[in-house]
């Protein structure tokens, strides 16, 4: 009997060592590095914008009744989230202050969108711009490298996921995409795939997974498109304002 606690501790230690070796092994197996031309990044944003608009038209004007508009709309968030993650994962992003500028813009345009979003969708969850803001802040904390920031990241992740669209699943998706862009290996790839699949918990379908082959396809093609710096930020509140006006007019006519 006296040897059982020692054997138990020894077994736990061996299990932890095996788990660590397995994790290290998975991280060492390299996966294809995603390298997208700037034009392809812009094209992805336009694609996500179109899909988002289709989804919102269906949701706010037709009460989600038009077949397949809801389904294709499930690709919008994963594509937008990837674009953000990809840009934040660039080696020069922190040095150039990309995170701070992105947070400022997301906060401003998230607030601008709220007066139009809330009458149509309600107070909770808050609009998707704030989800992207929280992700950017978490990545900013992780990039600073401070050990104390890990606990702050966990707190922000847990608390923020309560309030944003797609909840913790969207935050986890964006963080997993960022991890893969930073370190393309089996471990990060599996996590990205798993959290994408877990979006089905809020989507009630698996269409979000279709975003992954689309993203990888764009890494193999070259598209020339100019960068329009603020168009995507401004479009979000603008299209919500238009949809609210149309919805109000339809309700008034009836």
Write down the pLDDT at residue 228. Answer: 85
Q: Kindly state the average pLDDT of the residues 110-118.
A: 98
Asked if 88 and 139 count as a contact pair (C-beta separation under 8 A), the reply is yes
Q: Kindly state the average pLDDT of the residues 129-143.
A: 97
Q: Is 85 a residue whose pLDDT tops 90?
A: yes
Q: Is 17 a residue whose pLDDT tops 90?
A: no
Q: Is 52 a residue whose pLDDT tops 70?
A: yes
Tens digits of per-residue pLDDT, 72-83?
999 999 999 999
Length of the chain: 254
Using CA atoms, how far residue 26 sits from 30, 91, 92, 191, 251, in Å, is 8, 23, 27, 11, 55
Q: Kindly state the average pLDDT of the residues 44-59.
A: 97
Q: Kindly state the average pLDDT of the residues 38-56.
A: 97
Tens digits of per-residue pLDDT, 204-250?
999 999 999 999 999 999 999 988 888 999 999 999 999 999 999 98
* Comparison of pLDDT for 26 and 108, the residue scoring more: 108
Tens digits of per-residue pLDDT, 2-15?
555 455 445 545 54
Read off the pLDDT band of 186 (50, 70, 90).
very high
Q: What proportion of the chain, given as a percentage, has pLDDT over 70? A: 88
Is the full-model pTM beyond 0.85? yes
Q: How far apart are CA 59 and CA 66, in angstroms?
A: 9
Residue bearing tokens 């109000």:
248
Q: Is 147 a residue whose pLDDT tops 90?
A: no
Asked if the peptide bond before residue 202 counts as cis, ω within 30 degrees of 0, the response is no
Domain ranges of the chain: 34-53+72-253
Write down the pLDDT at residue 24. Answer: 63
Reduce the secondary structure of the chain to three states and give it as a string.
CCCHHHHHHHHHHHHHHHHHHHHHHHHHCECCCCCCCHHHHHHHHHHHHHHHHHHHHHHHHCCCCCCCHHHHHCCHHHHHHHHHHHHHCCCCCCCCCHHHHHHHHHHHHHHHHHHHHHHHHCCCCECHHHHHHHHHHHHHHHHHCCCHHHHHHHHHHHHHHHHECCHHHHHHHHHHHHHHHHCCEHHHHHHHHHHHHHCHHHHCCCHHHHHHHHHHHHCCCCCCCCCCCCHHHHHHHHHHHHHHHHHHHHHHHC
Write down the pLDDT at residue 229. Answer: 82
């Amino acid at each position: 009997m006296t040897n059982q606690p020692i054997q138990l501790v020894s077994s736990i230690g061996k299990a932890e060592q095996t788990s660590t070796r397995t994790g290290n092994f998975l991280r060492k197996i390299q996966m294809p590095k995603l390298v997208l031309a700037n034009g392809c990044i812009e094209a992805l944003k336009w694609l996500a914008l179109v899909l988002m608009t289709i989804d919102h038209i269906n949701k706010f004007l037709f009460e989600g009744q038009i077949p397949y508009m809801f389904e294709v709309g499930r690709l919008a968030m994963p594509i937008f989230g990837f674009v953000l993650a990809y840009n934040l994962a660039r080696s020069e992003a922190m040095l150039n202050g990309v995170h701070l500028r992105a947070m400022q813009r997301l906060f401003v345009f998230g607030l601008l969108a709220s007066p139009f979003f809330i009458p149509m969708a309600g107070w909770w969850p808050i609009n998707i711009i704030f989800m992207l803001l929280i992700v950017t802040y978490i990545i900013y904390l992780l990039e600073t490298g401070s050990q104390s920031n890990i606990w702050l990241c966990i707190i922000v992740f847990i608390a923020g996921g309560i309030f944003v669209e797609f909840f913790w699943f969207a935050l986890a998706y964006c963080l997993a995409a960022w991890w893969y862009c930073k370190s393309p290996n089996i471990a990060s790839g599996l996590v990205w795939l798993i959290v994408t699949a877990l979006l089905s918990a809020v989507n009630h379908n698996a269409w979000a997974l279709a975003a992954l082959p689309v993203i990888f396809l764009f890494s193999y093609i070259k598209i020339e498109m100019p960068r329009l710096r603020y168009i995507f930020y401004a479009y979000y509140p603008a299209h919500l304002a238009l949809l609210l006006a149309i919805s109000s007019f339809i309700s008034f006519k009836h």
